[in-house]
Amino acid sequence: MATPDGYLFLDREKFAEAFAADLPADDARFLADSQAPWGPDALAGTVVNPAWRDKPSFYLVAGDDRVIPPPATACTCPSPPMSRPSSPRPPREPPPEL
């Protein structure tokens, strides 16, 4: 959904299904209410020097994400994107070294 000044945010009524499906309803509602709108220009931004090239890092790709498509180059687990709050456990295998 877009605000009158052009910023975007997820529809509050659809937020839980799309982004927090495995959280308790109260937690999903809180996240929907507290999301920060973002500008569509963020999709066209260019990163010149990504920090992950110089800093050791890893991330978890939620395999059941309905908002952000999971890339093929990651340690993937079958979970929605709110896996950390709903299942605060580390992945079974460490991510591959870059």
More confident residue, 51 or 34: 34
Q: What is the band of 17 on the pLDDT scale with cuts at 50, 70, 90?
A: confident
96 found inside a domain: no
- For residue 78, the enclosing domain spans 12-86
- 37 contacts 7 by C-beta, under 8 angstroms: yes
Q: State whether residue 8 is helix, strand or coil.
A: strand
Q: Which residue has the higher pLDDT, 59 or 48?
A: 48
* Whole-angstrom distance, CA of residue 17 vs CA of residue 34: 16
Please report whether residue 56 resides in a domain.
yes
The pLDDT of residue 73? 45
Domain contains 43: yes
CA–CA gap between residue 30 and residue 20 (Å, rounded): 11
pLDDT at 68: 66
Asked whether the whole model's pTM tops 0.75, one would answer no
Residue 54 is predicted with a pLDDT of 84
**Based on the structure, what is the number of domains in the chain?**
1
